[in-house]
Structure 1
Amino acid sequence: MKVSGRVVTPEGVLDGGEVSIDGDLIVAVGPGQDADNGHWIVPGFVDIHVHGGGGHSFTTGDADEARKAADFHLHHGTTTMLASLVSSPYELMLSATRQFAPLVDEGVLAGVHFEGPYLSELRCGAQNPTFLRDPSTEELTELIRAGAGAVRMVTIAPERAGAIEAIRLLVGHGVVAALGHTDASYEQTLAGVAAGATVGTHVFNGMRPPHHRAPGPVFALLGAPSVVCEFIADGTHLHDGTLAFATGVTGPRRAALITDAMSAAGMSDGTYELGGLAVTVADGVARLAGKDSIAGSTLTMDAALRRAIGAGVSMVDACQMASTTPAAAIGLDATVGALRAGLRADLVELSEDFQVVRVMRGGAWV
C-alpha cells in the first residue's frame, strides 16, 4: 500500500512524497509519482496525557469506558495514548491498573498515567483534594507489579515528603517520573530532575508561577536538558505567545503537545464529572463547577496541532511535538512517532487546512 501527499518527516517535508506500507509497518518513505494532492501526511499523534473524550472517561477505571474514549481520540488522529487518571483512592488506582492492563496488551492503550495523588494541595487545580497524599513506595511497587508493564508514567510534586525516593523507585522500574501540580522551588524541582524525573506535566499549569527572583518549577523544567515539557495548546491553558516562547526555549525535541482532555471533549457544553468533582463546560472551556479552576480540556490532538501552527510553530516542528517527542518521552520512539521505515504504520492524512481526512493505525484505515 502507498499513501501519497505532502509527507512530513522529522527531517522536513516531502512535497509529492509517498509512504510505502507492508502489513503494519512503514517500509519506505520517499518521492512519489503524481502524489501532490495538497494533503498533508503526518505521523499518528501520541498523546501522553489524556483523561477521556467523546463522553467517556479513563478516570473511573472502567475498561469499556476506556475503550470508547480511546476510539474517540483515534478518530482525531491519536494513534498512541496513555490513559491518565486523576487523584484517587489507592483501591481505585489498583483496580484501574488491572482493568487497563489487558487494553495495553491489546494495543488500545500505550499505558497508564497516574496524575496524582502525590500532588501539592496548593497547586492541585481540578484534582480532588480529598485524595491527595505523600508518595508511597509501597503503593507504587504494588501498582507496578499489578500492571505488569502497563504503568508507564506517574506525576509527582517533588516537594512532598518521600517524593525523591518515589521518583527513584519509578525510574528503577522503567516508569517515567513526571513533575507537576507542584509548589516546589527551583531547587526542589531540580532535585526531582536529578533523581530521574524526565517529564514536566502541563508546564505552567498547576504549578507555582515563575518570578524573576523565585523562578520555581517553570524555569527549572524549561531549562532542564533532560526534561520533556508538556504543553496544552488550546489557547485557554496557555496564551499563544507563551506557547511560542516556551517551545522556542525547549525546541521541538523537548516539547510535547498534549490534550489533558476530559470526557467532555467532542461533546456539547454542560455538566460533567472529573475525579468525583463536578465540572461545567461553557464555550468549550471546562472549569470546576462554581469556581475559576480549569478542569482539563476539551481539546483533541488535531486541534492542538492546528493551534501550535497558528502560534508560529513550523509544520515539521509541530508534528515532532505532537508525535515524535512524546513517543520518545515514554520510551516508544523505536515503534511509533514518525514516518520512518521500520516504524508502525500510524499516520494521519490532513487537508490543506489541517483538518483530519482519514487515520491509519498499524497499516489499517480507521
Structure 2
Amino acid sequence: MTRIGGRIVRPGAVVEGYVEVDGPAILSVEAAGGAGDDIVVPGFVDLHCHGGGGHTFTTGDVESARGAAAFHLGHGTTTMLASLVSSPFELMREATAAYRPLAEAGVIGGMHYEGPYLSGVRCGAQNPEFLRDPSIDELAALIKLGEGAVRLVTIAPELPGALEAIGFLRGQGVAAAVGHTDATYEQTLAGVAAGATVGTHLFNGMRPPHHREPGPVVGLLSSPVVCELIADNIHLHPGMLRFAARTAGPDKAALITDAIDATGMADGTYDLGGQQVVVADRAARLVRDGSIAGSTLTMDEALRNTVAAGIGLAEAVAMASTTPARVLGLGDRIGALEAGLRADLVVLSPDLHVKRVMRSGRWLE
C-alpha cells in the first residue's frame, strides 16, 4: 500500500490529506493535517496531441508513438489520444492498425482523427492536399479496423454529408468534434444537434465571432459540448483563456496540448503532415504561410498557465483531467482522485511543477 500526502485536488475542492493506493486503484482519500505542501492531482487526460519529445503520432510509426506517449507521461499525462492530421485514407488505415495494440495495452487512450473532413477556408496547418468531404464508408472501415481504438473525430459541420457522418459516429460510440470550420452559428448548432459533443481547440481554426454572425465560437460555448482550449498563451491570450474557461465552466472546458514532435526539443525545422514547420521561441508555424502549426505545450504547463490566467486550481484540474475523461466515457475509471478509480495521479510542487507521476498504482521512474 502507498500513501501520498499533500493538498489533494478533488472535484470542486482542495483539501489537505492523503491518497491511499492499493495495487492499481485508489483505496481511499482522507482529510488530515500535516500532509505537506505538495499538490496531488489526478493524472492529466489529453484529448488532442500530435507528438512530443522528438516523436510523432502523425505517421503511424509505432515506436515513435511510444516515444511521444512516454514523453508526455513524464509531464503528468496518464491518458492521451494519439491525434493524426489530415491524411490519405491509406495512412489513416495503417496508423489505426498500428496503434490499436497500443490502445489495447493502455499506452495511448485511443486515436483522434483531426481531419481530413475539414474546411479548406479554415484548414490552418492542415495539409489542404488531403482535405475531403466526410465519408461514412471511410469512417466505418476505420472504426471496424480500430476495434475500439477510434475515440474522436473532428469534422466541419457545414461540409456535404457532415451531419450524417456525425450521427453515424454517435451511433458507433465515437465522439464527434466540431472544428476547422467556417460554419455559421446555425450550422454549428446543427452539428451539435446531430451529435457532436466536443469543440476542437475553440477559436483556432474557426470563423471568428461577430455580433451579427456569432459563428462556431459562440455556438459551441452556448451548447452542451466540451470546448478544447490550448493554454499555451500563443493560441489564446490569457484574457481570452480566462473568458472562455469561465463562460464554459470546468464541466464544459478541456485543456489540450495540440503538441507536435517539437515539444521539449530545440528550436528548428520539423514536419507536420508533410508540411515544413519552423519552431522559434516555443511557437510552431508553417513555413508556407506562417499559420500556427500545433504547439510545444505540455499538460503541466497548460495547468500552470490556466491558473495564472485566473482560474481556480480545482477548476483548472477538472479541465485537465475530469472533464476530458468524461468526454472519452472514462469518468468511472479515471480523471479524479476518488476511491475505486484507477490510481493515476501527479504530485506537483507548490508552484505546479511535476515531481512524481503515478499510473495504475506504479510510480514512473
What TM bracket, shorter-length normalisation?
Answer: over 0.9
RMSD: 0.7
Residue identity matched to 2:150? V
C-alpha distance in structure 1 between counterparts of 2:146 and 2:185, whole Å: 33
| 1:6 corresponding residue in structure 2 | 7
Normalising by structure 2, we get a TM-score of 0.99
Deviation at 1:349, TM superposition (A): 0.5
| 1:247 corresponding residue in structure 2 | 245
C-alpha distance in structure 1 between counterparts of 2:277 and 2:116, whole Å: 19
| 2:325 corresponding residue in structure 1 | 327
SS at match of 1:231: strand
C-alpha distance in structure 1 between counterparts of 2:30 and 2:218, whole Å: 40
C-alpha distance in structure 1 between counterparts of 2:166 and 2:180, whole Å: 15
Residue identity matched to 1:201? T
| 2:258 corresponding residue in structure 1 | 260
Q: Does structure 1 residue 39 correspond to structure 2 residue 35?
A: no
Query: Which residues of 2 match residues 191-206 of structure 1 at below 5 A?
Result: 191-206=190-205
Residue identity matched to 1:65? S
Greater mean alpha carbon deviation, residues 173-182 or residues 2-11 = 2-11
Residue identity matched to 1:299? L
Query: Which residues of 2 match residues 262-277 of structure 1 at below 5 A?
Result: 262-277=260-275
| 2:26 corresponding residue in structure 1 | 26
| 1:124 corresponding residue in structure 2 | 123
Percent identity (aligned)? 64
Equivalent of residue 356 in structure 2, options 333, 355, 358: 358
Query: Which residues of 2 match residues 82-161 of structure 1 at below 5 A?
Result: 82-161=81-160
| 1:311 corresponding residue in structure 2 | 309
SS at match of 2:296: coil
C-alpha distance in structure 1 between counterparts of 2:33 and 2:178, whole Å: 47
Q: Does structure 1 residue 77 correspond to structure 2 residue 76?
A: yes
C-alpha distance in structure 2 between counterparts of 1:217 and 1:333, whole Å: 27
| 2:286 corresponding residue in structure 1 | 288
Normalising by structure 1, we get a TM-score of 0.98
| 2:59 corresponding residue in structure 1 | 60
Q: 1:241 to 1:33 in 2, by over 3 A?
A: closer
Deviation at 1:291, TM superposition (A): 2.4
Q: Which runs of 5+ in 1 are unaligned?
A: none
SS at match of 1:287: strand
| 1:233 corresponding residue in structure 2 | 231
CA contact (8 A) 2:201 2:228 kept: yes
C-alpha distance in structure 2 between counterparts of 1:197 and 1:351, whole Å: 37
C-alpha distance in structure 1 between counterparts of 2:245 and 2:330, whole Å: 22
Deviation at 1:34, TM superposition (A): 3.1
CA contact (8 A) 2:12 2:315 kept: no
| 1:349 corresponding residue in structure 2 | 347
SS at match of 1:245: helix
C-alpha distance in structure 2 between counterparts of 1:62 and 1:292, whole Å: 27
| 1:213 corresponding residue in structure 2 | 212
SS at match of 1:273: strand
CA contact (8 A) 2:87 2:115 kept: yes
SS at match of 1:48: strand
Q: Which runs of 5+ in 2 are unaligned?
A: none
C-alpha distance in structure 2 between counterparts of 1:216 and 1:284, whole Å: 30
SS at match of 1:324: helix
Deviation at 1:289, TM superposition (A): 1.1
Deviation at 1:33, TM superposition (A): 5.6
Q: CA-to-partner distance for each residue in 1:237-268, whole Å, 9 max, x for gaps? A: 00000011111111000000000000000001
Q: Does structure 1 residue 300 correspond to structure 2 residue 298?
A: yes
SS at match of 2:48: coil
Deviation at 1:306, TM superposition (A): 0.2
Residue identity matched to 1:27? L
Deviation at 1:316, TM superposition (A): 0.2
Give the 4+ runs in structure 1 shifted more than 6 A. Answer: none
Residue identity matched to 1:108? V
Residue identity matched to 1:123? R
